[in-house]
């Protein structure tokens, strides 16, 4: 792990950090052709947090020298919607803009995979916006492969 970087389980006190950083990074979750009002995207994120925190999940916080720089939220009881097979599902990941490309995302991903293995989950799933090349490169570099595609068309 990169110097001074640690990943720990999220605590109840980390909820404000998760809400705030997630809200600041929502833009990377929306394709540029979807001209969604920011307020609607924010409400959707708040709803996602309610869903995640309302069920079994793994929350992880990445810290550099004791300062939070990223988080990952993984659902651990959400089966794949097509096969019904158990999986870990990464619901949301965010890294502080100034801490990107420094191993934070990979450290969070590795910790989530370890948590999934401990729960005997045979697969890990996630969704990433096609335009988010940096995140796609991270996931592909960690061995993730495209299984399905969500296709959209502006009308």
Per-residue pLDDT of the chain (155 residues; tens, 9 = 90+): 667 999 999 999 999 999 999 999 988 888 888 888 888 889 999 999 999 999 999 999 999 999 999 999 999 999 999 999 999 999 999 999 999 999 999 999 999 999 999 999 999 999 999 989 999 999 999 999 999 988 888 89
Q: Three-class SS of residue 144? A: coil
> What would the CATH number be for the domain defined by 5-141?
3.40.630.30
Question: How far, CA to CA in Å, does 153 sit from each of 31, 33, 63, 139?
Answer: 11, 9, 39, 25
pLDDT at 46: 96
| pTM for this prediction | 0.93
pLDDT at 1: 62
Q: Where are the domains of the chain?
A: 5-141
The whole-angstrom separation of Cα 147 and Cα 114 is: 21
Measured CA angle at 60 (ends 54, 66), to 5 deg: 135
pLDDT at 34: 84
Q: How many CB atoms lie within 10 A of CB 146?
A: 10
- Burial label for 56, CB within 10 Å (0-12, 13-18, 19+), is exposed
């Amino acid at each position: 792990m990169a110097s001074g970087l640690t990943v720990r389980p999220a605590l109840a006190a980390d909820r404000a950090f998760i809400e705030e950083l997630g809200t600041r990074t929502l833009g990377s979750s929306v394709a540029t052709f979807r001209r969604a009002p920011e307020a609607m995207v924010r409400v959707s994120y708040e709803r996602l947090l309610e869903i995640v925190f309302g069920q079994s999940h793994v929350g992880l916080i990445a810290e550099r020298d004791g300062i939070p720089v990223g988080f990952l939220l993984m659902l651990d009881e959400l089966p794949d919607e097509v096969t019904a097979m158990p999986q870990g599902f990464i619901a949301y990941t965010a890294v502080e803009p100034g801490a990107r490309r420094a191993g934070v995302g990979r450290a969070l991903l590795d910790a989530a995979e370890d948590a999934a293995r401990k729960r005997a989950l045979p697969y890990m799933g996630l969704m990433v916006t096609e335009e988010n090349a940096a995140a796609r490169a991270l996931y592909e570099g960690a061995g993730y492969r495209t299984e399905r595609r969500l296709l959209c068309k502006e009308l």
